[in-house]
Amino acid sequence: MRTALAIARKELSIYFTTPWAYAVFTAMLALASFFFVGLLHDFQHTQELARMSGWDNLPPERRNLTDGVMVPFWSSVMIITLFVAPFLSMRLFAEEKRNKTFELLMTAPVRPVEIVLGKYLGGLGVITTTLGLTILYPVLLSFFGSSESGTVLEWGTVLLGYGGLLLWGATCMAIGMFLSTLTESQMVAALLTFAVLLPWTLLRGLAHGAEEPMRSIITYLSFDAQLQGLLRGVVDLKTIVFFFSVIIFSLVLSHRAVEAQRWA
């Protein structure tokens, strides 16, 4: 485990000493700010209309900042992560191959499982940092928002939604790392990751035209359908098991790919 942690520290140092990670952080904050301001504006507009026409006509999800702003905001960040994660995971193995250092890594006294775990922990650190920046928005709401009940946000719901995002980011990095083991082109690795994550996320849309039991199976396999409960602050053990299963399966595939290339 010590070797894996050393590899993870090396990966993190590479991420944070190059401008690419900071460009991704900036893009995340810029896009998240755009959606946050838009949702906040819509929420304020809805509240003003309710004051004039009556609060009985106001939908339940528009009656507080948690349901009216933060829950749809987490859904927006989920979509942003779908685009951001491939550009963070693409270099994990592809860069080693492009720089011809992968062969040196394979001849070092390091087991493939330690390489995979170390690389993944490094990627997990950078995606956690990227998503961690978004916690700024509920903090701002808690400082500057107002509520008649005295509680601006339901922090339990907010933190569960944030936990769901971290789980989603960890899954994206695991899938992206596996696809990075298959090519020496970082851009190809990023495009492959996006090409896998996007349709997998949109599976729920295909379920509407399917018959049972295929409808339930397709819905269960959809990333979007699995995440919706967590993003709304609802804990479901099946969701956690699903995402951890995808992560572990992706790590196993990465290990197999690295091991196969070691003896090739």
Amino acid identity for residue 73 in this structure: F
Of the candidates 28, 142, 134, the one whose C-alpha atom is nearest the C-alpha of residue 81 is 28
Per-residue confidence band for 249, with pLDDT thresholds at 50, 70 and 90: very high
> Please, are residues 123 and 176 in contact by the beta-carbon 8 Å criterion?
yes
Token digits for 235? 């804990």
pLDDT, one tens digit per residue, over 194-221 is 999 998 888 777 766 666 777 778 778 8
Identify the DSSP state of 209.
Answer: T
Q: What pLDDT, on a 0 to 100 scale, did the predictor assign at position 52?
A: 67
pLDDT at 61 over 70: no
In percent, the amount of the chain with pLDDT more than 90 equals: 36
Show Cβ contacts of residue 187 under 8 Å, excluding neighbours closer than 6 positions: 90
H-helix or E-strand spanning residue 190: helix 186-201
b/e 173-199 (16+ beta carbons within 10 angstroms → b): bbbbbbbbbbbbbbeebbebbbebbee
What is the C-alpha R_g of the chain?
21
Task: Work out the number of other CB atoms within 10 angstroms of the CB of residue 131.
Answer: 23
pLDDT, one tens digit per residue, over 176-187 is 999 999 888 889
b/e 59-82 (16+ beta carbons within 10 angstroms → b): eeebebbbbbbbbbbbbbbbebbb
pLDDT at 38 over 80: yes
> Which domain range does residue 210 map to?
2-262
> Please, are residues 175 and 190 in contact by the beta-carbon 8 Å criterion?
no
Mean pLDDT of 55-68: 68
Task: Work out the number of other CB atoms within 10 angstroms of the CB of residue 140.
Answer: 12
Q: Indicate the average pLDDT of the chain.
A: 84
Q: What pLDDT, on a 0 to 100 scale, did the predictor assign at position 163?
A: 92
Report the number of distinct structural domains present in the chain: 1
pLDDT at 242 over 80: yes
In SS3 terms, 68-82 reads as: HHHHHHHHHHHHHHH
Per-residue confidence band for 252, with pLDDT thresholds at 50, 70 and 90: very high
In percent, the amount of the chain with pLDDT more than 70 equals: 88
pLDDT, one tens digit per residue, over 119-173 is 999 999 999 999 999 999 998 888 776 555 556 788 888 899 999 999 999 999 9
Q: What pLDDT, on a 0 to 100 scale, did the predictor assign at position 60?
A: 62
> Please, are residues 112 and 262 in contact by the beta-carbon 8 Å criterion?
yes
> Please, are residues 157 and 64 in contact by the beta-carbon 8 Å criterion?
no
H-helix or E-strand spanning residue 115: helix 112-132
H-helix or E-strand spanning residue 235: none
Of the candidates 128, 109, 103, 160, the one whose C-alpha atom is nearest the C-alpha of residue 11 is 128
